Amino acid sequence: MAEKITPRADDYSKWYLDIVKEAQLADHSDVRGCMVIKPNGFALWEKMQRALDGLFKATGHVNAYFPLFIPMSYLAKEEEMAEGFAKECAVVTHHRLKAEKGRGLYVDPEAKLEEPLVVRPTSETIIWKTYKNWIQSYRDLPVLVNQWCNVVRWEMRTRLFLRTAEFLWQEGHTAHATREEAEREAHMILMDCYRRFAEEWMAMPVLTGPKSEGQKFPGAIYTLCIEAMMQDGKALQAGTSHFLGQNFAKAFDVQFLNDKQQLEYAWATSWGVSTRLIGGLIMTHSDDQGLVCPPRLAPTHVVICPLGKNEEERRASESAAQNLAAALRSLPREEFFGYEPIAVKIDTMYEKQPGFRFAEYELRGVPVRVEIGPKDLEKQACVIGRRDRPGKEGKQFGVPLSSAAAVIRDWLVDIQQSLFNRAREYRDRLTRTVDRWEEFQQEIERGGFLLAHWDGTRETEDRIQEATGATIRCIPFDQPEERGSCILSGRPSTRRVAFARAY
């Protein structure tokens, strides 16, 4: 099995695509830049959605749905938006095809739209156009709405999950009566929803903080982000939360009567995470054996492989497997598992070699694997293996069947924590403080986050990127104030920022 996967050390990029392909997560489609998310990949996305949706709802948000199409004139209303997205979008210009003998199907020139429609690259414009009807008074505020949907950006270079022309995401769009409340919302989403989800569900540690001016969202006053570190030393922007000020309220004339009966423009935030997170999950935890999936997001938590050379042995093993599965499924529903039963699969592909069967589930990232064979049954026991520690090290032999369900439940919780600890140690090891430009240039080649002083100008940021390929990923909230001088210009700085090469 493992030979299907190129080792990370040989070719990281190929390793990634091998995992996506062999764990059957996604595939390229014939439609340029669009992917097919296969059942194994979509099951991951469903678990992510469920958890994130719970976090959004627990913080007072509701879901809604807005049109896929955005009239071209809406995009034009917000200048930075138009500049940021016009260059790469899918444009609907006609509403009919026609068929003709010999010629086949063609676009009917008589069915041209009066105004071209853009397939949404993000929905600020159409949503704020709608909010104009929803918001008249401060009593209508805040509006705390989220949408799960597909969006399209006509990317030239695509990579499965990480960058595709069409992708799935959620986009939150909130409207508030005051600047303070909107800023609080943008921060709350970042820290209490995105950071929590990344760390507690994905087991993926993240830096949190604002982007620099050069990296912010078109139309935002500022952009906050969670930024993760992949195993190859490249950073991944995993989620963003934007404080939009009154830009969209002004562009779409969304004014409300405040409690003093004065007209004011509403204050806005928007925030999103996408199927890109699946790429982040893969690149944070997986190994040369295949996918490694944190238990809280695993579509299947436990696979049980009954073993046996003949019908009789198999029947006995299978019966023990059924009992264990039932015991696992009937454990009390816990918050950790989203109040759902532990998901157990019994594999009975006896026609395949046991080694092949085990390797298959290793490849797919199932967190816990159980083997029950005739020798185990003699002792009323089983063998349990944990995916985060492949090989003998992660195996426990002779686990009594009577206590196996409880042991496995505890292992699942432990695996979640171990994955997070390992990823954080790795990230911390790859995060270095750098004070000299020559050192910066050398160190950036080794990957990871470089914490360095920066003079706060766009010009310096651009020069550093040109020279090294590194960008400012984040101005971390948790960096202390300290006097220093910019790594490139030598000008004074009060705080270190995190540089890295990035996806």
CA distance 206 to 239: 10
Kindly state whether residue 356 participates in binding its own copies, applying the rule CB under 8 A.
Answer: no
CA distance 491 to 367: 50
Which residue, 352 or 379, has its beta carbon nearer to its own copies?
352
CA distance 49 to 66: 18
Distances (CA, A) of 11 to 152, 288, 336: 29, 11, 36
Nearest to 361 by CA among 300, 431, 419, 270: 300
- At its nearest, how many Å lie between its own copies and the CB of residue 243? 23
Cβ atoms within 10 Å, residue 413? 14
- At its nearest, how many Å lie between its own copies and the CB of residue 165? 9
Kindly state whether residue 324 participates in binding its own copies, applying the rule CB under 8 A.
Answer: no
Q: Which two tokens stand for residue 378?
A: 């003699």
Stretch that binds its own copies, among 113-121, 421-429, 432-440, 444-452 (CB under 8 A): 113-121
- At its nearest, how many Å lie between its own copies and the CB of residue 174? 12
- The binder of its own copies chosen from 22, 88, 264, 455 (CB under 8 A): 88
Kindly state whether residue 305 participates in binding its own copies, applying the rule CB under 8 A.
Answer: no
Nearest to 173 by CA among 253, 92, 66, 280: 66
Query: 378: which strand partners?
Result: none
- The binder of its own copies chosen from 19, 23, 35, 297 (CB under 8 A): 35
Kindly state whether residue 119 participates in binding its own copies, applying the rule CB under 8 A.
Answer: yes
Stretch that binds its own copies, among 41-49, 300-308, 402-410, 447-455 (CB under 8 A): 41-49
Kindly state whether residue 352 participates in binding its own copies, applying the rule CB under 8 A.
Answer: no
Q: Are 288 and 18 in contact (CB under 8 A)?
A: no
Kindly state whether residue 320 participates in binding its own copies, applying the rule CB under 8 A.
Answer: no
Query: Alpha carbon 368 to chain centroid distance?
Result: 23
- At its nearest, how many Å lie between its own copies and the CB of residue 108? 9
Give every CB contact of residue 444 below 8 A, 6+ residues apart in sequence.
450, 468, 469, 470, 499, 500, 501
In the range 125-164, which residues lie near its own copies by CB under 8 A?
A: 126, 129-130, 133, 145, 149-150, 152, 154
In the range 65-84, which residues lie near its own copies by CB under 8 A?
A: 65-73, 75-76, 82-83
Q: How many residues bind its own copies (CB under 8 A)?
A: 66
- The binder of its own copies chosen from 97, 326, 406, 467 (CB under 8 A): 97
Kindly state whether residue 169 participates in binding its own copies, applying the rule CB under 8 A.
Answer: no
CA distance 156 to 337: 39
CA distance 420 to 418: 5
- The binder of its own copies chosen from 1, 6, 17, 38 (CB under 8 A): 38
- The binder of its own copies chosen from 3, 10, 104, 259 (CB under 8 A): 104
CA distance 394 to 324: 20
Kindly state whether residue 333 participates in binding its own copies, applying the rule CB under 8 A.
Answer: yes
Which residue, 126 or 497, has its beta carbon nearer to its own copies?
126
Place of tokens 């989800």: 197
- Classify 296 as helix, strand or coil: helix
Distances (CA, A) of 70 to 122, 123, 133, 152, 163: 10, 8, 17, 12, 22
- At its nearest, how many Å lie between its own copies and the CB of residue 141? 14
Nearest to 190 by CA among 270, 123, 128, 247: 270
Kindly state whether residue 109 participates in binding its own copies, applying the rule CB under 8 A.
Answer: no
- The binder of its own copies chosen from 14, 58, 107, 421 (CB under 8 A): 107
Kindly state whether residue 96 participates in binding its own copies, applying the rule CB under 8 A.
Answer: yes
Which residue, 107 or 467, has its beta carbon nearer to its own copies?
107
Q: Which residues bind its own copies (CB under 8 A)?
A: 27, 29-31, 34-39, 41-43, 45-46, 62-73, 75-76, 82-83, 86-99, 104-107, 116-119, 126, 129-130, 133, 145, 149-150, 152, 154, 166, 168, 333, 339
